[in-house]
């Protein structure tokens, strides 16, 4: 069974051969391809002739014409020099049908000095191409092939006050002799074979590996009964992937073990925090009852007995409320789902808090998003209890003149219940443990309200979160719109 390493090595060798062939092809094309050189040279002389025509047009602008004398020819030479200065290896000038050459320039000539004489060997060709451009009224090109170079002469009409004037440019494209074409063709064949061979091999490897990786992905995505542990993966037959599978299986076993340990440690830690909080909450009422009873016993005439008994009953009510909230949080009750009209549900929930809010000078508002069918399903009693806790917290933390907004809306397949106030927000020291039992920012609070909200949201397979903490607190309960 061949490993991935051997397959990749074979693929690498093919790619190296392909790279070498590509380099060879590019080098030979750059050095010896005649057609590419000729095309570039033709474009170069044509562009240079256009530049010459543009310079000439600028030169004659506003000039009505005059005699062709030495001064005019010198000026035309300057025009040609400027136009051809950026065209390497291109010479040219201005031609007139009657006078012949009016100007000649070769600004990029690499000889011992500037070249000012019109090339005599090519004079007939220059005359011929200018005559053709003058006759046709458009650009003309003549190519003359030699053993090692191709002469390219281009001419274009020049518009202006002088009659029969054309501009011309000329360059030489050097071509290589010998087996250049055969070498180029061989390079193309090698390149094509290596590229197509590499592509076919790579496609085969990728197809096989994609199937094995898809199998691993399907196994990892397979979740039954809400299991969160990694499933055990089967061997794929590929040595490298099987090593990865073994590592994943081993990691999954360790993660499952550590998760169970972490869950146990978290439960113990939560139990410890809850026990400490519960002991503190129970100790305070008991101490108050003891103090009242001792004070009443200290007075023999019984004048303090009635007040002491009243205070003791208040503390008993406080303990009863504490234990009821604690049982509500710890005894997870399966929600009794029913379809709920959100507008009616919010109105009924807010009605029970309007008197307390009005006494504190706080405005309560309710809002729902567009009516969506079918209606959401939830336990109205439990969810109202959750909203009651959030609204009471908001009332206790919102200053007079403030506003509390309760909204319900749909986001994709979830129901969002939001309670927002414009109070001071949640204190920094309790924000991280906000939903834990007995965590509160008020001296008179038990710290069970938000914990109960969290348990109710979890019972509905949802969650509660603090959305915003600056400029007021915004709590949001998110549960499925219709549980599956």
Alpha-carbon span 236 to 294, nearest angstrom: 79
Alpha-carbon span 27 to 21, nearest angstrom: 10
Instruction: Please report whether residue 465 resides in a domain.
Output: yes
Instruction: Please report whether residue 272 resides in a domain.
Output: yes
Q: In the predicted model, what is the mean pLDDT of residues 269-288?
A: 60
What percentage of the chain reaches a pLDDT higher than 90? 24
- Asked whether the predicted pLDDT for residue 444 surpasses 60, the reply is no
- Which residue from 446, 466, 429 is spatially nearest to 329, judged by alpha carbons? 446
- Asked whether the predicted pLDDT for residue 226 surpasses 50, the reply is no
User: Which one is predicted more confidently, 142 or 320?
Assistant: 142
Alpha-carbon span 117 to 171, nearest angstrom: 15
Instruction: Please report whether residue 278 resides in a domain.
Output: yes
Which whole-number Å values give the CA distances from 104 to 49, 56, 57, 107, in the listed order?
13, 13, 17, 10
**R_g of the chain, CA atoms, integer Å:** 47
Judged by average pLDDT, the poorest of 302-306, 333-337, 414-418 is 302-306
348 shares its domain with 317? no
- Which of 298, 330, 362 is the endpoint of a domain? 330
Query: In the prediction, which pLDDT does 4 show?
Result: 55
The mean predicted confidence, pLDDT, of the chain is 79
Instruction: Please report whether residue 449 resides in a domain.
Output: yes
- Which of 138, 162, 177 is the endpoint of a domain? 177
User: In the structure, what pLDDT confidence band is assigned to residue 213 with cuts at 50, 70 and 90?
Assistant: confident
Containing structural domain, residue 439 = 338-480
The per-residue pLDDT for range 82-98, each reduced to its tens digit, is: 999 989 889 999 999 88
- Asked whether the predicted pLDDT for residue 178 surpasses 50, the reply is no
Query: In the prediction, which pLDDT does 361 show?
Result: 92
Report the CATH number that the domain containing residue 435 is assigned in CATH.
3.30.565.10
What is the CB neighbour count within 10 angstroms for residue 255? 15
350 shares its domain with 455? yes
- Asked whether the predicted pLDDT for residue 223 surpasses 60, the reply is no
323 shares its domain with 344? no
- Asked whether the predicted pLDDT for residue 176 surpasses 60, the reply is no
Answer for the pair 441, 423: CB distance below 8 angstroms, yes or no: no
319 shares its domain with 351? no
DSSP SS3 for 141: strand
Burial class (CB in 10 A: 0-12, 13-18, 19+), 2: exposed
322 shares its domain with 394? no
The per-residue pLDDT for range 359-391, each reduced to its tens digit, is: 999 999 999 887 667 899 998 888 888 898 899
Query: In the prediction, which pLDDT does 416 show?
Result: 93
Handedness of CA 213, 214, 215, 220 (dihedral sign): positive
92 shares its domain with 128? yes
Cα angle: 302, vertex 306, 307; to 5 degrees: 110
Q: In the predicted model, what is the mean pLDDT of residues 285-290?
A: 69
352 shares its domain with 322? no
Helices 4-32 and 180-221: angle between axes, nearest 10 degrees? 150
Q: Partners of 406 in the beta sheet? A: 366, 419
Note the helical H segments in 61-87.
70-84
Query: In the prediction, which pLDDT does 430 show?
Result: 74
User: Which one is predicted more confidently, 223 or 262?
Assistant: 262
Alpha-carbon span 55 to 78, nearest angstrom: 10
- Asked whether the predicted pLDDT for residue 434 surpasses 90, the reply is no
- Asked whether the predicted pLDDT for residue 328 surpasses 60, the reply is no
313 shares its domain with 396? no
Which whole-number Å values give the CA distances from 258 to 224, 254, 263, in the listed order?
21, 6, 8
**Distance of alpha carbon 2 from the chain centroid:** 39
Q: Which long-range contacts (CB under 8 A, 24 or more apart) does 98-105 make?
A: 98/164, 99/68, 100/127, 101/126, 102/68, 102/72, 102/73, 102/76, 102/165, 103/73, 103/76, 103/77, 103/79, 104/77, 104/80, 105/77, 105/80, 105/81
Instruction: Please report whether residue 108 resides in a domain.
Output: yes
Return phi, psi of residue 399, to 5°. -70, 165
User: In the structure, what pLDDT confidence band is assigned to residue 225 with cuts at 50, 70 and 90?
Assistant: very low
User: In the structure, what pLDDT confidence band is assigned to residue 187 with cuts at 50, 70 and 90?
Assistant: low
User: Which one is predicted more confidently, 273 or 59?
Assistant: 59
- Which residue from 249, 243, 253 is spatially nearest to 219, judged by alpha carbons? 249
- Which of 177, 193, 213 is the endpoint of a domain? 177
Does the N-terminal peptide bond of residue 374 adopt cis geometry, omega within 30 degrees of 0?
A: yes
What's the number of domains the chain is made of? 3
Judged by average pLDDT, the poorest of 6-15, 30-39, 272-281 is 272-281
Instruction: Please report whether residue 274 resides in a domain.
Output: yes
Answer for the pair 474, 468: CB distance below 8 angstroms, yes or no: yes
Q: What are the percentages of helix, strand and coil residues in the chain, rounded to 5?
A: 55, 15, 30
Instruction: Please report whether residue 199 resides in a domain.
Output: no
43 shares its domain with 162? yes
325 shares its domain with 299? yes
Q: Which long-range contacts (CB under 8 A, 24 or more apart) does 221-229 make?
A: 228/259, 229/255, 229/256, 229/259
**Distance of alpha carbon 21 from the chain centroid:** 38
253 shares its domain with 323? yes
- Which residue from 307, 302, 303, 277 is spatially nearest to 289, judged by alpha carbons? 307
Judged by average pLDDT, the poorest of 78-82, 178-182, 278-282, 420-424 is 178-182
Which whole-number Å values give the CA distances from 189 to 2, 183, 194, 332, 433, in the listed order?
29, 10, 9, 75, 70
- Asked whether the predicted pLDDT for residue 298 surpasses 80, the reply is no
Report the CATH number that the domain containing residue 100 is assigned in CATH.
3.30.450.20
The per-residue pLDDT for range 450-477, each reduced to its tens digit, is: 888 888 888 888 999 988 766 788 999 9
User: Which one is predicted more confidently, 47 or 268?
Assistant: 47
The per-residue pLDDT for range 343-362, each reduced to its tens digit, is: 999 999 999 898 889 999 99
Query: In the prediction, which pLDDT does 194 show?
Result: 76
Q: In the predicted model, what is the mean pLDDT of residues 99-118?
A: 87
Q: In the predicted model, what is the mean pLDDT of residues 323-340?
A: 70
Give the contacts of 364 (CB within 8 A, at least 6 positions apart).
Answer: 350, 353, 354, 357, 391, 403, 404, 406
452 shares its domain with 357? yes
Instruction: Please report whether residue 451 resides in a domain.
Output: yes
Query: What's the residue count for the chain?
Result: 484
Handedness of CA 91, 94, 95, 101 (dihedral sign): negative
User: In the structure, what pLDDT confidence band is assigned to residue 177 with cuts at 50, 70 and 90?
Assistant: very low
What percentage of the chain reaches a pLDDT higher than 70? 74
pTM: 0.41
- Asked whether the predicted pLDDT for residue 67 surpasses 90, the reply is no
User: In the structure, what pLDDT confidence band is assigned to residue 13 with cuts at 50, 70 and 90?
Assistant: confident
């Amino acid at each position: 069974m061949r490993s991935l390493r051997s397959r990749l090595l074979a693929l690498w060798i093919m790619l190296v051969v392909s790279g070498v062939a590509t380099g060879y092809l590019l080098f030979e094309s750059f050095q010896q391809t005649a057609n590419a050189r000729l095309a570039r040279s033709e474009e170069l002389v044509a562009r240079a002739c256009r530049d010459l025509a543009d310079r000439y047009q600028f030169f004659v602008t506003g000039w009505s014409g005059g005699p062709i004398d030495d001064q005019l020819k010198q000026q035309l030479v300057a025009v040609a020099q400027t136009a051809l200065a950026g065209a390497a290896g291109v010479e040219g000038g201005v031609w007139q049908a009657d006078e012949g050459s009016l100007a000649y320039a070769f600004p990029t000539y690499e000889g011992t000095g500037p070249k000012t004489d019109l090339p005599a060997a090519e004079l007939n060709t220059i005359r011929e191409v200018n005559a053709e451009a003058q006759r046709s009224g458009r650009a003309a090109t003549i190519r003359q092939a030699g053993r090692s170079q191709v002469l390219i002469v281009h001419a274009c009409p020049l518009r202006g006050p002088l009659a029969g004037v054309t501009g011309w440019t000329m360059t030489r494209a050097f071509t290589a002799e010998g087996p250049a074409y055969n070498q180029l063709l061989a390079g193309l064949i090698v390149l094509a074979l290596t590229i197509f061979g590499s592509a076919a091999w790579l496609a085969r490897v990728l197809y096989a590996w994609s199937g094995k990786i898809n199998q691993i992905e399907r196994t990892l995505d397979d979740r039954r009964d809400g299991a969160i542990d990694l499933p055990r993966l089967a061997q794929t037959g590929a040595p490298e992937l099987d090593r990865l599978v073994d590592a994943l299986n081993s990691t999954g076993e360790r993660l499952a073990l550590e998760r169970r340990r972490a869950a146990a440690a978290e439960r113990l830690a939560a139990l410890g925090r809850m026990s400490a909080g519960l002991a503190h909450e129970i100790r305070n009422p008991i101490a108050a009852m003891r103090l009242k009873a001792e004070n009443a016993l200290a007075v023999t005439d019984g004048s303090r007995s009635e007040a002491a008994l009243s205070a003791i009953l208040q503390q008993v009510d406080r303990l009863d409320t504490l234990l009821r909230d604690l049982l509500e949080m710890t005894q997870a009750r399966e929600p009794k789902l029913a379809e709920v009209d959100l507008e009616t549900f919010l109105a009924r929930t807010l009605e029970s808090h309007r008197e307390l809010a009005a006494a504190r000078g706080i405005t309560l508002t309710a809002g729902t998003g567009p009516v969506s069918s079918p209606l959401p399903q939830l336990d109205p009693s439990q969810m109202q209890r959750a909203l009651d806790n959030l609204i009471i917290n908001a009332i206790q933390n919102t200053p007079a003149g403030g506003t509390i907004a309760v909204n319900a809306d749909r986001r994709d397949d979830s129901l969002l219940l939001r309670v927002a106030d414009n109070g001071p927000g949640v204190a920094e020291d309790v924000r991280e443990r906000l939903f834990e039992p007995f965590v509160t920012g008020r001296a008179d609070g038990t710290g069970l309200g938000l914990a109960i909200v969290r348990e109710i949201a979890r019972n509905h397979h949802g969650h509660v979160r603090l959305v915003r903490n600056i400029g007021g607190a915004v709590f949001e309960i998110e549960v499925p719109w219709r549980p599956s």
